[in-house]
Amino acid sequence: MIEKRRSKIQGWGVFATQPIAKNKRIVTYDGEKITNRESLKREVRYLKQGHIWCFKLNRLYVRDAAVGGNVARYINHACEPNCYTRVIGDTIWIIAARSIRKGEELTYDYSTDGEGSIPCRCRPGCKVMI
């Protein structure tokens, strides 16, 4: 249903290989389950490389996709995304926010809660920092 390819947004991206219906669960965001404290240490290193791999599960835990992650780690941020995320227990789902066409790049709003240090590249002229 999806595949990793080069992206016009940033580096690698994830693209639909077939149409995806609205509200379809597409893929889980996998990675090592670590504490928020540990994620803060790792994120400093990742941000220097221009990446955000840590996804908050709750106030105590995070999934670090740089360790044990899957293709979902390559889904790029967009301010007007075609997907959204839902945390169910310890599982993070990427879900279609609308019908997605074959060949379309999947995106979701990273909704980071730290100070943004990576410029958004979702469209020319976007001034958001993620």
For residues 31, 36, 42 and 45, what is the CA-based torsion angle, rounded to 10 degrees? 120
| Digit-coded pLDDT (tens) for 23-74 | 999 999 999 999 999 998 998 888 888 888 899 999 999 999 999 999 999 9
From CA 124, how far away is CA 97, in angstroms rounded? 22
130 within 8 A of 77, measured Cβ to Cβ = yes
pLDDT of residue 71: 98
pTM for this structure? 0.91
List the domains of the chain with CATH numbers: 2-108 (2.170.270.10)
From CA 25, how far away is CA 22, in angstroms rounded? 9
